[in-house]
């Protein structure tokens, strides 16, 4: 089977969706399938892959990490040329919301190929947090979508949900990476049924990290880790404010990059937190998992934005407990692997940080065993996704 994954941002750029796409590609290929990923070009050095199709694009962030391509006839022709000489595409797997999604749907419609759409993003929440005039932005998105995907099929009132529904009514199957997001999509009328397929954790890397992990040295300070994209919806600044308010003797390590990196640095230096907080930068996947395994706790801070919260799943798979701010994410996790904050305030997060440091000092910190159940593993989730590919292909051919 040849799967075309269409997404907004390049698979080698920063972000949880991008990590999951790279993993999906590798495990689909291990299962004997061919995978091509089409997305906007990445404007920095990166590993690349012969089966990446980098569309002509322009950078849209100051750090040139993220880019935008213009869907339309030029992009259509570029993609068709890039696929010449490759096996025919059997399934288009859309894993984006904007230009990547439109490129994928236009390709599928031209070739009569079924679409599986994984909806990763809480679009309404993201637009409200990032865009100054969200209602106007939604109207503009709907106009733009209608311009490139005709005729309009969604009957929902204009909203972020009708924008997603416009895709869903064209898809043969819709999936989501968590139960809580799948239920939200169904309640909002985006799709009548949404299959839940988690973003899995790399089987081999988890086993390797667990096998090589060393116990923490005697007398080491409590080590907390925060990892992700530094943006407003991830609440990196709120996390640093909670660290200051908690006023604990801890080793706090921050992994990742993003638009708020400079502000985060400035907050740490301006508040005398240099002995507590260390910025570790963006690191490869294995190194990120090793850092999570070495920590006493991972801290998850976004609320209402994440559709899965991949880092807490990675922590659970590695045997590291998490402080979880989002009750929806907590609801996806097994008991005994996390602490929940009392609410979404900085004060509640600071209280949770104090609790973790105090419990470790007293020898009572949560010590969940590494989760060996197959549900956490990418191999299991890939097998479930292949079943969906087979289902939609059989329905189309029938």
Q: Using one digit for the tens of pLDDT, what is the confidence trace for 49-79?
A: 999 999 999 999 888 889 999 999 999 999 9
The residue among 370 and 122 whose pLDDT is bigger is 122
89 lies in the same domain as 114: yes
CATH code of 285's domain: 3.40.50.2000
Looking at residue 213, what is its pLDDT?
83
CA distance 398 to 394: 6
Q: What is the pTM of this model?
A: 0.82
Residue 386 CB coordination number (10 Å): 18
25 lies in the same domain as 165: yes
385 lies in the same domain as 364: no
Q: Does the pLDDT value for residue 393 go beyond 70?
A: yes
The boundaries of the domain holding residue 35 are 2-200+377-397
pLDDT band, very low/low/confident/very high, at 294 (cuts 50, 70, 90): very high
293 lies in the same domain as 390: no
291 lies in the same domain as 391: no
245 lies in the same domain as 322: yes
pLDDT in tens, 181-200: 999 999 999 999 999 998 88
208 lies in the same domain as 287: yes
Token pair 């407990």 in the structure block, residue: 321
pLDDT in tens, 315-360: 988 889 999 999 989 988 888 889 999 999 999 999 999 999 999 9
127 lies in the same domain as 79: yes
215 lies in the same domain as 348: yes
Looking at residue 289, what is its pLDDT?
92
Q: Does the pLDDT value for residue 85 go beyond 90?
A: yes
Q: Does the pLDDT value for residue 372 go beyond 70?
A: no
pLDDT in tens, 216-270: 888 899 999 999 989 888 999 999 999 999 999 999 999 998 889 999 999 999 9
Looking at residue 53, what is its pLDDT?
97
The number of distinct structural domains making up the chain is 2
pLDDT in tens, 130-174: 778 888 999 999 999 999 999 999 999 999 999 999 999 999 999
CA distance 47 to 49: 7
Q: Per residue in 329-352, is it b (16+ CB within 10 Å) or e — as a string?
A: bbebbeeebbbbbeebebeebbbb
Section 96-117 average pLDDT: 97
327 lies in the same domain as 264: yes
332 lies in the same domain as 183: no
91 lies in the same domain as 228: no
């Amino acid at each position: 089977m040849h799967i075309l994954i269409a997404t907004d941002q390049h698979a080698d750029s920063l972000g949880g969706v991008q990590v999951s796409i790279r993993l999906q590609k590798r495990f689909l290929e291990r299962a004997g399938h061919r995978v091509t990923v089409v997305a906007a070009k990445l404007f920095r050095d990166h590993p690349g892959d012969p089966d990446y199709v980098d569309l002509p694009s322009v950078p849209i962030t100051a750090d040139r990490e993220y880019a935008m391509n213009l869907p339309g006839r030029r992009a259509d022709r570029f993609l068709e040329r890039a696929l010449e000489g490759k096996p025919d595409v059997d399934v288009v797997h859309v894993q984006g919301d904007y230009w990547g999604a439109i490129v994928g749907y236009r390709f599928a419609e031209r070739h009569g190929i079924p679409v599986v759409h994984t909806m990763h993003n809480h679009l309404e929440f993201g637009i409200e947090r990032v865009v100054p005039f969200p209602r106007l932005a939604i109207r503009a998105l709907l106009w733009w979508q209608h311009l490139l995907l005709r005729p309009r099929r969604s009957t929902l009132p204009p909203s972020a949900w009708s924008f997603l529904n416009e895709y869903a009514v064209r898809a043969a199957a819709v999936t989501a990476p968590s139960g809580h997001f799948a239920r939200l999509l169904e309640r909002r009328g985006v799709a009548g049924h949404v299959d839940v397929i988690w973003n899995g954790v790399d089987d081999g890397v988890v086993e390797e990290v667990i096998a090589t992990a060393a116990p923490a040295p005697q007398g080491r300070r409590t080590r907390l880790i925060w990892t992700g994209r530094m943006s407003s919806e991830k609440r990196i600044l709120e996390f640093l404010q909670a660290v200051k308010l908690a006023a604990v003797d801890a080793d706090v390590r921050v992994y990742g990059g993003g638009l708020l990196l400079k502000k985060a640095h400035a907050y740490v230096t301006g508040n005398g937190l240099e002995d507590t907080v260390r910025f570790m930068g963006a690191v490869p996947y294995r190194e990120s998992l090793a850092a999570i395994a070495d920590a006493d706790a991972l801290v998850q801070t976004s609320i209402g934005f994440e559709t899965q919260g991949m880092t807490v799943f990675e922590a659970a798979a590695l045997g590291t407990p998490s402080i979880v701010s989002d009750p929806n994410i907590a609801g996806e996790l097994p008991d005994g692997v996390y602490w929940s904050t009392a609410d979404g305030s900085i004060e509640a997060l600071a209280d949770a940080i104090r609790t973790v440091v105090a419990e470790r000092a007293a020898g009572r910190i949560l010590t969940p065993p590494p989760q060996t159940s197959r549900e956490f593993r990418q191999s299991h989730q890939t097998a479930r996704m292949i079943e969906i590919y087979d289902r939609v292909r059989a329905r189309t051919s029938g």
